[in-house]
A and B are shown apart, each in its own frame.
Chain A
């Protein structure tokens, strides 16, 4: 709860910074604030009971706390990475405020106890991003990204709202627990429009987590938006959206799992295969990461599909490992982009000669995304497969295995480019202290998640 307060307050402070002229202090203040927010989350962890707040609107239980801390951590890393970008922007305070409000929306998504808060969380998470995606006002691609994201996002939210309304019509409540009680008390008596409601909610959420076939916005928006905003979308938004997705389905709709799990299974299969296969053909690193994020949504859906007591831990570990590796990848991309002014995979050529740290971090990040030991990505994938197999979905896991094999192909394109392909110019690349620190932290984190996953896994089991 305090985490949410701190983040919201930070957002307000960031808006005031322009008027009260302490813009220079904003960066350290935000970083400190994020640390404080994480600390607040940790301090609440050992509370004997978790009391719902605001008439059951929010409940910060272990699940919500763990995901909030993870969101704050990734945002912290994001701010470390994005310092250069934020400095070059004119409206620096707006950026800070928008990002922080978006994060606040994400935290609401991890903790909602009521459909209204689900809706509010998604809107608070998304609206700042519609603006940020278009923040390069003179760039046509950025405008396109913003517009596309906004229009399709509005559609998806419409579906979600319609779904919520139908559920309300069937059960007479917005509250997750009440809905669950109602379903349990009326087994087999739910009207058809209740199931239509679930279907519409799945459509709306699948859009947010960019699962196929609701993914069409992803590549264009990822590519058009400023790189740092893309990084934010592919990490923090992903974690928050999945946290919300799983929270909703694990509290409300478990008892009618038969009605929706085939659908989720189909979404998972399409996302894994389509994401990975399309990523192979991409020349642009950003577009490749966009398709890769679609495929990761597919793997994560497996855990929602299998819905058992390992699922929460599996999703938590997976999103964290994925986000940390993605931040590394975007940090390297940022550096490469600054030099070449394009995001082609070719631009990585000869990176190992020009700066070994960059090459090493991108290698570890790619290995992690591809799911190769001893990185965090491997263990995350293992946990997901294990969870899905526990649920008895052998065939889906076989498809997932094949999909991850295809994935290795394009992740290795970046590794091969940086170690093997000759560079067009041989000048060394200088890294700022901040960048070095960030790359070292994220790389070590990736390895640490792979080698000592037990701590993270036990948080939510």
Chain B
């Protein structure tokens, strides 16, 4: 029951916000997203006291003659991502309080609709339903970027749309292919049936499925060389859109890889997994190198996000306990950190009207609080010990090391390169003497603090005490590995 409530509540909230008064839309959106957060905590509590989480889900026949069910299920893996979504959403809404968007009612309604689709993607345990939510998430973000975005938005958001849609159509093809290999005459889209169907295929068919689905996930994350939509889109989208894209939507790709691909086609992974890991690692180095020479702050973070997500993907593809656990923890941490970074860049760019790092400098002298918050978020992002980023990256590298020491060595360069571009950008923008642009930089307002404080608490809190995340995901990961590992490594 709680699962269906988690999905439907944001949907009705979005309708209410759309129908309601545009002036109070942001307050209403905040109120509803906080309520949804409380619901999420309740779900977390239920999952922790109840080891058998299937009772919390639901299976409602939708198109029975085609074996399509409205099946939602909660376990440690997807609950983590639902928690991430619903923790970040109030923060994202709060971060927009100083802005006055045109047609605010529509804007916040789309944001809440997006939340519905995201939660749906994570909870869906039916292939068809998963696909529907996957596509539903695309429509609101497309309109958010299109209607409230920056320069040249029509072309860029369109590229983004076509890119992601091309991936997902191939995923649909793969899902139908699997569906037809479930035992007939009444086929089924149930995830377990699809697992079984996929595992029973020969290498050639599994490779086909692998590429169909991998394409969709790789574009969404994005992995090299499918990333070319990402920096432009992140840069052009309104800040809240960028936050949704990078903080949450990107996790749809990594989650899909983890849940919908790895256990499904073990032979396909054995055949093509090394190549996919190679792509992920190339992406890490490539994106880090571009980030080092990036002049625009938002683009720098966009490229750093490609590097981070490459490491997550490599950890998932390594498919061992540490790798998967690291990937999940890092998905959570990356969501928190990247939203913090984009918010900070947004503060800089609204106050100085520039995002160019070279034009900034000396902000710490005039805005010490701002500089302190920035530093903490930044340290989280470069994975310093005692921040949340460290736990994830450590586990990820550990997992990748078990897979191949060489690859772990190369992937580990991302930590060093990350420190280089992040610290250098901090140095150039925060330290030194203030110039004409930055000498009047105002320190944080109450609203901005309200956004940054929860983020910083999460960064440090989870860095020191990551146990809740590990405890939540541990059993679910073990379950996932057990269901397919014997076939991968006979």
Contact = CB atoms under 8 A, between A and B. Distances in A.
Contact of B136 (A374, A386, A398, A401): A374
A99 interface: no
Given A373-B135, A457-B66, A420 B146 contact: yes
Contact of B161 (A398, A408, A420, A461): A408
A419 B110 CA distance: 15
Interface string B120-146: 000000000001100110010001001
Among A374, A397, A412, residue most surrounded by chain B Cβ atoms (within 10 Å): A412
B50 interface: no
Nearest to B64: A454
A458 interface: yes
A372 B63 contact: no
Given A404-B169, A405-B166, A416 B64 contact: no
A416 B177 CA distance: 33
B147 interface: yes
B146 A408 contact: no
A191 interface: no
A449 B148 CA distance: 31
A409 B163 CA distance: 11
Interface in B24-65: 62-65
A416 B170 contact: no
SS of B interface (majority): helix
A401 B176 contact: no
Contacts of B62: 454
B136 A416 contact: no
A232 interface: no
Contact of A385 (B64, B154, B166, B172): B172
A159 B176 CA distance: 38
A54 to B, nearest CB: 35
Given A419-B143, A420-B147, A386 B176 contact: yes
Interface string B156-175: 00100110011001101100
Interface in A386-438: 386, 389-390, 394, 397-398, 401, 404-405, 408-409, 412, 416, 419-421
A461 B147 contact: no
B170 A401 contact: yes
Interface in B254-309: none
Contacts of A412: 158, 161
A373 B131 CA distance: 9
B484 interface: no
Contacts of B143: 419
B162 A408 contact: yes
Contacts of B161: 408, 412
Interface in B364-382: none
B180 interface: yes
Contacts of A454: 62-66
Interface in A432-461: 453-454, 457-458, 461
Interface string B176-202: 110110000000000000000000000
Nearest to A404: B169
B138 to A, nearest CB: 8
A63 to B, nearest CB: 18
- Give the interface size bracket for A toward B: 20 to 34
Contacts of A458: 65
Nearest to A413: B158
A398 B162 contact: no
A458 B177 CA distance: 22
Contacts of A389: 176-177, 180
Interface string B59-84: 00011111000000000000000000
Given A372-B139, A408-B161, A458-B65, A390 B170 contact: no
A65 B179 CA distance: 31
Given A373-B131, A373-B136, A385 B162 contact: no
Nearest to B173: A401
A457 B65 contact: yes
Contacts of A394: 177
A45 interface: no
A419 B149 CA distance: 13
A461 B65 contact: yes
Contact of A373 (B132, B177, B180): B132
A461 B143 CA distance: 38
A372 B135 contact: yes
A414 to B, nearest CB: 13
Contacts of B172: 382, 385, 401
Contacts of A420: 146-147, 153-154
A385 B128 CA distance: 13
Contacts of A421: 154
Contacts of B179: 386
Given A374-B136, A420-B146, A385 B173 contact: yes
Contacts of A390: 180
Interface in A355-382: 367, 372-374, 378, 382
B132 to A, nearest CB: 5
A419 B63 contact: no
A401 B176 CA distance: 12
Nearest to A457: B65
Contacts of B176: 382, 385-386, 389, 397
A421 B155 CA distance: 12
A373 B121 CA distance: 14
Contact of B146 (A373, A382, A419, A461): A419
Contacts of B65: 454, 457-458, 461
A258 B170 CA distance: 28
A148 B173 CA distance: 40
A45 to B, nearest CB: 18
Contact of A408 (B165, B177, B180): B165
Contacts of B135: 372-373, 378
A419 B139 contact: no
A315 B169 CA distance: 20
A409 B166 CA distance: 11
A420 B131 CA distance: 28
A372 B143 CA distance: 14
B279 to A, nearest CB: 22
A361 to B, nearest CB: 15
A382 B127 CA distance: 13
A420 B153 CA distance: 9
Contacts of B154: 416, 420-421
Nearest to A378: B135
In the A-B complex, list the 7 residue pairs whose CB atoms are closest, starting with the nearest. A373-B135, A454-B63, A401-B169, A373-B132, A405-B166, A420-B154, A416-B154
Given A401-B170, A457-B65, 20 more contacts: A372-B135, A372-B139, A373-B135, A374-B132, A382-B176, A386-B176, A390-B180, A394-B177, A397-B176, A401-B173, A404-B169, A405-B169, A412-B158, A412-B161, A419-B146, A419-B147, A454-B62, A454-B65, A457-B66, A458-B65
Interface of B: 62-66, 131-132, 135-136, 139, 143, 146-147, 153-154, 158, 161-162, 165-166, 169-170, 172-173, 176-177, 179-180
24 contacts: A367-B139, A372-B165, A373-B132, A373-B135, A378-B135, A382-B172, A386-B180, A389-B180, A390-B180, A398-B173, A401-B169, A401-B172, A404-B169, A405-B165, A409-B162, A416-B146, A416-B158, A419-B143, A419-B146, A419-B147, A453-B63, A454-B64, A454-B66, A457-B66
